[in-house]
Structure 1
């Protein structure tokens, strides 16, 4: 493991030992956990508003996605062709402390998501001393892009994939005797919603991961083009894993953006690879 360089007060650089690395990492983790904890407390204080206006959004008939699909469908002259049937479910808790524990889960999950940019920043601060001035210059906007793609994916999961997924699961019927009723628990709903949001948020980091791997020489645009057919299979698998429902529509809603991000990642890799080749030529004359 390479030693990180750290500047001291006399502008000199000193080598950090393995113990120094662990101590620095520990402080970054402590600060990240502290910010998540404080954010979670704030969300817990306003838990009723968060639950009513955000958490239940994908199963609320008045959610912006349902209203937008209704307007688009009628604007295109398709009637209710693009609209989704209302999600008619009532959640339940099966224990006395169910709602209290659910509110704690809600608070810490939302706290972690909202605090993501700060956590990324702390991780960046830990890695930063090991980078050269040129590498620092090339990664000036790293935190912005990591946060941007994470929240883009999270928004995609919340506003688009979530409504389609819960709509399918809530309206799916087994048998014709109407003897079964869908009544999910609060924990079940929160777990599915969290998996959708975090899964999409992490999956949308593909261009950022591609940039890093290409920059350090582990990935090339030529390899990505040759591996496109394998990427399709992998992305379909990821889409199936992210979506809790087995319907092909929900899976395709995830797969199409992921495939688009893969194509964007090829362009990113090509740009980075071209820049690296140009730098090597300049260095070797």
Structure 2
């Protein structure tokens, strides 16, 4: 396939992916009034009514404050786009996959599918835990304002806070998967991971303390504890992978060899000939 052909294929795949994102955004825009908006506001509406600036509605729902004319429309469009990207992810991810697969081997395709499935699941798990921690984090942070203070959150501030928390949890849960991938390609060994276990757990807690937007201990521990468990699972998988790799190298006679060391001959009766071959003398030097 020529370069122009690749570019034309990429253009078509991007166009199809954007079309599915547009459809997902339209569905989310319609869904906003059917319960999506209430689902997003639920952690804030679950707080005590005396801590919120606006009173609750008769059905128990609550409102967020919008201080400009276009604020409400922009917030709805922003939420619809983000949810639309998530809803249409199977379709636009397939377009990415269809563009890349012609250049991959069968084993690489298998690993690629496993990586996409695992990364998507971990991101969803992190986002779900972030949503669970959201109400507790808001309660703690708003409660620190003390008595006599009413916190009226604007829609822009609240939605930005929710999105940053969901993304922070989702991305942080990808780190153990990256460590496992580095082990699979031979960059990071089980021995290195095992020796660094204490540092990994310590740095995970420090990372959770800095990355959580709420900065409260409950949310930090809710992020750090599953990450430590996932890192331990990655370490144990690395242990299994390194054992299989060692057995395979021993069977092929490659065990104990450095990366820059020549491998022994498979057939001992015909060792490798290391004698340099003769070069033809250039014509202008021949006599």
Give the 3 Å change call, closer, same or farther, for CA 273–251 of structure 1 in structure 2. same
- Partner deviation per Cα, 1:112-163 (whole Å, 9 max, x = no partner): 23333444444444443343223334555443322222211111111x2212
Instruction: Note the C-alpha offset of 1:187.
Output: 0.9
Structure 2 alignment gaps of length 5 or more: 55-63, 254-265, 267-287
2:158 is matched with 189
How far the C-alpha of 1:21 sits from its partner, in A, is 5.4
Q: Hey, what does 1:39 align to over in structure 2? A: 24
Q: Aligned to 2:241, what secondary structure does the other structure show?
A: helix
Matched, 1:163 2:118: no
Q: Hey, what does 2:277 align to over in structure 1? A: none
Please report how far the alpha carbon of residue 208 of structure 1 lies from its aligned counterpart in structure 2 after TM superposition: 3.1
Aligned residues between the structures: 244
Which of 141, 144, 147 pairs up with 1:172? 144
> 1:113-132, aligned counterparts within 5 Å?
113-132=86-105
Matched ranges for 1:1-285 at <5 A: 17=3, 23-61=8-46, 88-89=51-52, 90=54, 91-158=64-131, 160-174=132-146, 178=148, 180-284=149-253
User: Could you give the per-residue CA deviations for residues 222-266 of structure 1, whole angstroms, max 9, x where no partner exists?
Assistant: 222222333234323432344222222221111111111111111
Q: TM-score, normalised by structure 1?
A: 0.73
Contact 1:220 1:269 in 2 (8 A): yes
Q: Within 2, Cα distance between the matches of 1:119 and 1:93?
A: 33
Q: Secondary structure at the match of 1:46?
A: helix
8 Å CA contact 2:50, 2:150 repeated in 1? no
Q: Is the 8 A contact 2:180 2:235 kept in 1?
A: no
Q: Does structure 2 conserve the Cα–Cα contact (< 8 Å) formed by 1:121 and 1:143?
A: no
Q: Return the index of the structure with the highest Cα Rg.
A: 2
Taking structure 1 as reference, are residues 221 and 85 closer, same or farther at Cα in structure 2, changes over 3 Å only? farther
SS at match of 1:56: helix
Contact 2:168 2:211 in 1 (8 A): yes
What CA RMSD, in Å, does the superposition of the two structures yield over aligned residues?
2.8
Q: Distance in 2 between matches of 1:21 and 1:268?
A: 37
**Distance in 1, Cα, partners of 2:206 & 2:6:** 37
Cα offset for 1:189? 0.8
Structure 1: gaps (5+ residues) = 1-13, 62-83
Return the alpha-carbon distance in structure 1 between the equivalents of residues 25 and 82 of structure 2.
Answer: 8
